[in-house]
Amino acid sequence: MGPFSDAKIIDGIRKKRREVIHFMYRDYFPLILALIEKNSGTCQDAEDIFQDGLVALYLRCRDRELVLNCALRSYFYSICKNLWLQRLERKHRLVYYADLLVNDNEENYIGKEHLTREQKLARHRVFWRHFNELPDDCRKVLLMYIEKVPFREVAEKLGFTDENYAKVRKYLCKKLLRNRIKKDPEYPYCIDHE
């Protein structure tokens, strides 16, 4: 596997090529692990930031052409470094706000500012984690619902008794997903209201 040139990695990430992603894990992850561990993070933090960094890179490649004026390794390193700094800042701010909470009401605690890229990625990761842990039929029914597949067809494809049960199932699955996300300890820290 590999080594891949920067251009091949970018192309591979855009095309979701498995071997390129595995190569990234093998070749780039130790770099990010060292960065995070050197800056008061854990291995789990490093894994999260690394995944968020890859998602950020994927979105960047997918949405428009990525032209680099430095090595991809440096570029990716700076993405992860920024994400980690943003997260540290967010955690620090939350600690600060948590202190304020003793005297202030909850409105001061929950920020209303726009989400940072780090927050969006962290939220997406939390959503994915819980979505991925849903029962198989739940995931399917939610994806079909999003794709506007008629409930009758959903019932037929998933072997439900009728379309009413498919509707109920969709509701219950969404509720389950919502509840799990809300209970996730990572979720409240990136919650934001309109």
For binding to other proteins (CB under 8 A), which residues are involved? 16, 18, 21-22, 24-26, 29, 47, 51, 54-55, 58-59, 62, 123-125, 127-128, 131-132, 142-143, 146, 171, 174-175, 177-178, 181-182, 191-194
> Of 29, 80, 25, which is closest to residue 52 (Cα–Cα)?
80
**Residue closer to other proteins, measured from CB, 69 or 105:** 105
Minimum CB–partner distance for residue 69 and other proteins (Å): 25
In contact, 126 and 187? CB cutoff 8 Å: yes
Cα radius of gyration rounded to whole Å, the chain: 20
Q: Could you tell me the CA-to-CA distances from 14 to 3, 11, 112, 127 in Å, in that order? A: 17, 5, 33, 22
- What is the closest distance, in whole angstroms, from the C-beta atom of residue 171 to other proteins in the complex? 6
- Residue nearer to other proteins on the CB measure, 43 or 70: 43
Phi then psi for 147, rounded to 5 degrees? Answer: -80, 5
Q: How far is the CB of 17 from other proteins (least distance, A)?
A: 9
Minimum distance, C-beta of residue 155 to other proteins, in the bound complex (Å): 18
